[in-house]
């Protein structure tokens, strides 16, 4: 709901509501989101364990995650697949491949597609809460401010059509990344 005043919760980042869905930004670790149904993995094309988010998710989930996920690959930028959560506290992991900045074009469209496809998979599988990391902003080099705008605008555009997902959480690793997402959230909602 555009124009709604921001509610700042101590330690919980910024939160806005659009229709039936709440969108919030928090600082934290994507592997420690015990209260959400699905966490999103900033995956690589092979769906293999790697660095960054993918490394952390696969370490926390255990080898069963790669065993389930890798046969579903390879993926192209903007695509997503869903698996079980294995050793994670979540029912699902939604794996999406972000664009490599300056290489996979058009970057903004491909990044938006990651968020749309991931939300669609959450809807289809009955996940009512989803936590996203800042896809493409690590090894893939997407500037954080630009990525945050694409991410929050895409969620804003999708929010009205959501029937199952009630909570979309952005989990940011650094204070600077959290601030960029809070700004983008305030602008989008």
Residue 115 structure tokens:
């968020």
Exactly one of 75, 111, 119, 135 binds ligand ADP (CB under 6 A); that residue is: 135
Is residue 64 a contact point for ligand ADP (CB under 6 A)?
no
Q: How far is the CB of 10 from ligand ADP (least distance, A)?
A: 20
Beta-sheet strands, E only, within the chain: 7-9, 13-18, 21-27, 38-42, 80-84, 92-96, 129-132, 167-172
Pure H helices in 17-71: 52-61, 63-69
x/- binding map, residues 90-129, to ligand ADP, per CB under 6 A? --------x-------------------------------
Is residue 139 a contact point for ligand ADP (CB under 6 A)?
yes
How far apart, in whole angstroms, are the C-alpha atoms of residue 159 and residue 165?
9
Is residue 84 a contact point for ligand ADP (CB under 6 A)?
no
Binding residues for ligand ADP, per CB under 6 A? 29-31, 42, 52-54, 56, 98, 133-140, 171, 173, 177
């Amino acid at each position: 709901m555009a124009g709604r005043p921001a509610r700042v919760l101590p330690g919980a980042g910024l939160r806005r509501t659009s229709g039936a869905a709440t969108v919030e930004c928090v600082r934290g670790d994507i592997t420690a989101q015990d209260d959400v149904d699905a966490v999103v993995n900033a995956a690589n094309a092979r769906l293999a364990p790697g660095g960054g988010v993918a490394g952390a998710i696969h370490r926390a989930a255990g080898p069963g995650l790669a065993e389930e996920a890798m046969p579903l690959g390879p993926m192209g930028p903007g695509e997503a697949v869903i698996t079980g959560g294995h050793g994670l506290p979540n029912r699902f992991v939604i794996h999406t491949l972000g664009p490599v900045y300056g290489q996979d074009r058009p970057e903004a469209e491909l990044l938006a597609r990651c968020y749309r496809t991931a939300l669609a998979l959450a809807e289809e599988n009955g996940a009512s809460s989803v936590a996203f990391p800042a896809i493409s902003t690590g090894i893939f080099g997407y500037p954080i401010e630009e990525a945050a705008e694409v991410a929050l605008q895409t969620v804003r555009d999708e929010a009205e059509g959501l029937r199952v997902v009630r909570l979309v959480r952005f989990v940011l690793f650094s204070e600077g990344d959290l601030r960029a997402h809070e700004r983008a959230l305030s602008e989008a909602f």
